[in-house]
Structure 1
Amino acid sequence: MKNSFKLVSGIAALAFILPSFAKAADKSIYGDDNRLDYFEAPADMKELAKSVVSFWKNEHVRIDGDRARVATVNFGDAVGLCPSERFREQPIGAFCSGSLVGEDLVMTAGHCIVDEASCADTKLVFGYAVTERGKAANTAVPASDVYSCKKIVKRDLDKPPTGTVGIIGAIVGNVLDTTGPDYALIQLDRKVTGRRPLPINRGSKVKEGAQIFVIGHPVGLPLKVAGDAKVRSSKFMRAHFTTDLDTFGGNSGSPVFNLKTKQIEGILVRGGTDFVKSPEGCTVSYSVGQNDGKGEAVTHVSVLKDHIPSFKSADESPKMVELAPEDTAFEPLERTVSFD
């Protein structure tokens, strides 16, 4: 017998909404919270953001004719946020982020798409964002902005250590901060229209001190841009570099850009603690000083650049779509859980 019920707040709801969060380390706020909604971002970052995509389980996306609706819950209710927390009343639901790097290729974190079965169970949705001040987030988008994961082209992820040698190696790697890459390159069910593949750094690795920003879906929220950050450490032998970006679970797979070149330098994969309990008993974002904390880890794009095709210049690319406000005439899709 099946029993269906609407999602409720609390840890159970969050675990259901964001299934990949448990597989990657949390993230944090460093110094001031620099996250911006799409409509607040500078024009050049908005253009890049149009090619950043949110990841959803198949059951959380409904297509009716030429429109699609994603299933979400209220952020504040699901996590038990304190009233002062930013974006408290916005929806959450996406479990990872990714970037369009080819006509039908999306780059993300390896822990977001773990195998072909998870690929087949994933929908990728462009345009999930707050596009105008005072407007609701776009939880209804054109059906043409929804794609399916067709197959994994290339993937790598540090595997759990086994045996004495493996465990010792993992301990040494953790101490020396030499953990391996975490990435996936996936092919979509068709070529993406109206959005340009994003440029990647095909040269030398990003240097320490470089100014960077990230675009993605922290905690499964509508798209956010977060900057005013830098590369803390970028060592020659490491597959990743560390940063002070303001990111959360759900940002996994987000493209990290060089502020100067606007090229992707890497993929956000792990970091510090997301949330803590306040003295009042409600939940707040975990914050540290700008130069404190463990930092957010980003897989260097160089580890998979040979698998990403070059593409024509922006001047030759198709015209970009314009993100429109929420279509309030489209019937809301409530999120439910079913058990056999």
Structure 2
Amino acid sequence: MWVFEPSNVAKFAETSAIFDDHRGAVIAAFVLATALIVGRFAATWGPVRVDRAVLKWELSGSASRHRPLRRRLAVAVGCAVMADVAIHGALSLLVPESATILLALGGAFGLIAVCAAYIAQLLGDRSVGARGFPRFGRLSPERLHQRTFAPRDGFAAAVGLGISMMDASWIADARITRWQRHTASKSGRLHRTAEGAFVRMDLRRLRRHPEAVVRWLCWTAVGIAVSILVDFHAVPLLISTLAVWSAGVATAGGLTSVSDPVLARSFGVSDRYLRRWHCVVPTIATLVSAAAVAAASSVSLFACAFLIVGTIMSVLRRATRPPLPFDAPMVIEPLMTGAAFQPTLLSAQLRGLLLAVVVGVVAGALG
């Protein structure tokens, strides 16, 4: 744990002069932003959630569901509070003199965020005709509907696969599937030319999924804030570059989805032509994000150009990766650990991300 001592952390990163001049406002904004993120995750996941087997064998009888649901609610509250405290703990490494206050604020606002998500879930399940805010006696988890504490969205399985496979694309697919089950999409008139149709399809996708635009804005804001508020003594642009990469990937859903050749055949164009026009929206989004981060970082013109071009290439490389080869041959490392791994699968999972890391390191050296 000696790595996290304030003297050792200061060798790699310190707060900037702007952070020190506006410390109170920066900390307040950080606390509120973290609470919103934790609350959003709690609302998306559901502060009370069980799988279908538990619902069928434990919660479908005549006995009260209050105790098992209350126990799972307590676990969710504890996880949310600990996650918020851990995020504030990362900031306290930079400002160790305010560590106690930051950890206390993290725990308090994490609790408020998950409680707000639970109350929103409860209000969404209240009986038809009920009015006003429920009284304290009606806040029992027993009043929740099974559609919210045992949803058929496959999100839990996707999260499990994302953790075990170390790939977040499972979660993205589950998010789109759940959106499709709750939203009826309408067809509209497309452009007569294939080029205009492809670009408009991507824009319509972003309009139907505003969460992608929100994630793009949030990652761009993170990159700008890190560049302004933190002075890194080593690899100064690495964190900001990864934020730009994440922002670009958030808008590349259309490019990711065209791996299926059905679209190309329906328009009568080649796969390369199809992907070329689906690159327009993520390229522009990454360009804007990278330019904003480069301007906030005050890097040289050459480093700015390298950052923009490199992040665009890494985003497009990530979005155009083929399906992951989970059946790739395994190799056993005989020297150190004896662990088995799949080199082909690992290289596919790192496609785009590794390039973004290299771009961040080199751009920081050029800046």
TM-score tier, shorter chain, comes to: under 0.3
TM-score with structure 2 setting the length: 0.22
Q: Which has the higher contact order (CA 8 A, sep 6+)?
A: 1
Q: Which has the higher helix share?
A: 2
TM-score with structure 1 setting the length: 0.23
Q: Which has the higher strand share?
A: 1
Query: Rg bigger for which structure?
Result: 2
